[in-house]
Each structure stands twice: as C-alpha cells, then as structure tokens.
Chain A
Amino acid sequence: AQSVTQPDIHITVSEGASLELRCNYSYGATPYLFWYVQSPGQGLQLLLKYFSGDTLVQGIKGFEAEFKRSQSSFNLRKPSVHWSDAAEYFCAALIQGAQKLVFGQGTRLTINP
C-alpha cells in the first residue's frame, strides 16, 4: 500500500546536538516529498520540499533533507538544534497527478537544555 512511515514517534536530543528524523515512503514512482513542522497550537509550516534534481535540499530554520531513491528515504537533518525546534515533525508525500498529501505518523521532538 502507498504510505509514508516515520519510524520514530518521539525523539529527545540535547540543545546543540545534531538531529536526524527518518522518513520512508512506499510508492511505485518517486513522489514529491515534504517536511512540515507543527508547533503546539499552530498549523503546519513547510520546512522544505523535494520535487526533482539535487537530492540534498535546504529548508528554513537551518534544516536540510536528503532524498535517497535506493532507500526510499527522505530524512530530515539539522547540525545543531535549538530549544525552539521542539515541535512535531511530519513527512508527507504527493503523488504526481494526485491532489492529496499523505502524511507520516509524525515525530515529536523534545529538546533537553
């Protein structure tokens, strides 16, 4: 079945540490891929997107993600997290020709001071 999987429900890292959030997709063709962030009580804000081309994409707030076709993955990274990065992170996929985003379960990020 077509799906997006985020294996980690909750991750805790220390402020200043590096971060990697995992995302895998299961589709016949390569979908368009997105990472969204949701702070408490807020809507979903786009961090970055991959449509084609360079497999390493840069986003806002110092985030980047790397598309790896061989692993069907689109992992989100940040070299040094800040306390304000504490939020819920969602990976999502859009199949070409379809009009719906399919979301992963989300990963809740907690930052230790």
Chain B
Amino acid sequence: EPEVTQTPSHQVTQMGQEVILRCVPISNHLYFYWYRQILGQKVEFLVSFYNNEISEKSEIFDDQFSVERPDGSNFTLKIRSTKLEDSAMYFCASSESWANEQFFGPGTRLTVL
C-alpha cells in the first residue's frame, strides 16, 4: 500500500540553525501539506501546496518557513532560523484532491536546543 514517508525521523539542531525536513508524498497525489504538533498540544495546520505553489498557509507559517517541491517526488519544509518554540513533531500529508482523505507520514520530531 502506498504511503507517505518522512526523513529524518528525529532532528536535533541548535537555535538559529536552518533545518530541512523531507517528505515523499504518495506518487499520484496532487495536494501536499505540512502540520505540526507541539508536545501535548493539538495538531496544527501549517501550509498546503498545489500546482507548485502555496495554496493556503496559517499564521504560524511566517517568513522563517518555506516549502518546496524540488523534483517530482520530494516535498520539503525549511525553517530558516530555528527557535526553541519550533520544537515539535512535523507531519507531512498528501491527498488526491482537497476534498479527499489526507494521508499522513510518520512525522519528524524536531528538537531545537
């Protein structure tokens, strides 16, 4: 069964450093998403991406964040200068259309020291 994959599973970084979280969505899906879950809190939407551009983003997704689909398979989330409060589990998801089920990856746990 096709699945969304994410790498790395755990990333530890120093405050102020750049990180890139990687995702490989399901191959025939057209919509891609990033969510995050701070420990003990709810899963929050960050951004959706369709047709090589951001289609929707939340207030959390400020200028420090960017997304890219550099080739036909990867979907990345970059945090330019990490802050302590960026520590969270980051989930990638993909769907065939906006109205379909979103399939989630296993997540990347980001720890900012």
Is B45 in the interface zone, CB < 8 Å from A? yes
- Count, chain B residues at interface, CB 8 A: 25
Instruction: Tally inter-chain residue pairs, CB-CB below 8 A.
Output: 55
Complex contact A44–B56 (CB within 8 A): no
Is B91 in the interface zone, CB < 8 Å from A? yes
Given contacts A101-B45, A102-B45, 4 further A-B contacts (CB under 8 A): A43-B105, A44-B93, A46-B101, A99-B50
Complex contact B44–A103 (CB within 8 A): yes
Task: Give the CA-CA distance A49 to B4 in the complex, in Å.
Answer: 19
Interface residues of B (CB under 8 A from A): 4, 31, 33, 35, 41-45, 48, 50, 55-56, 58, 91, 93, 98-99, 101-107
Give the shortest distance, in Å, between A39 (CB) and chain B (any CB).
10
Please list the 6 inter-chain residue pairs (A to B) with the smallest Cβ-Cβ separation, ordered nearest first. Answer: A100-B45, A99-B48, A44-B104, A43-B106, A103-B43, A43-B104
Complex contact B35–A101 (CB within 8 A): yes
> Contacts of A51 on B, CB cut-off 8 Å?
99
Among A92, A96, A99, residue most surrounded by chain B Cβ atoms (within 10 Å): A99
Task: Give the CA-CA distance A43 to B91 in the complex, in Å.
Answer: 8
Among B43, B44, B93, residue most surrounded by chain A Cβ atoms (within 10 Å): B43
Is A75 in the interface zone, CB < 8 Å from B? no
Complex contact A32–B43 (CB within 8 A): no
Convert A34-75 into 0s and 1s, putting 1 for each residue whose CB lies closer than 8 angstroms to a CB of B: 101000011111100101000000000000000000000000
Complex contact B102–A101 (CB within 8 A): yes
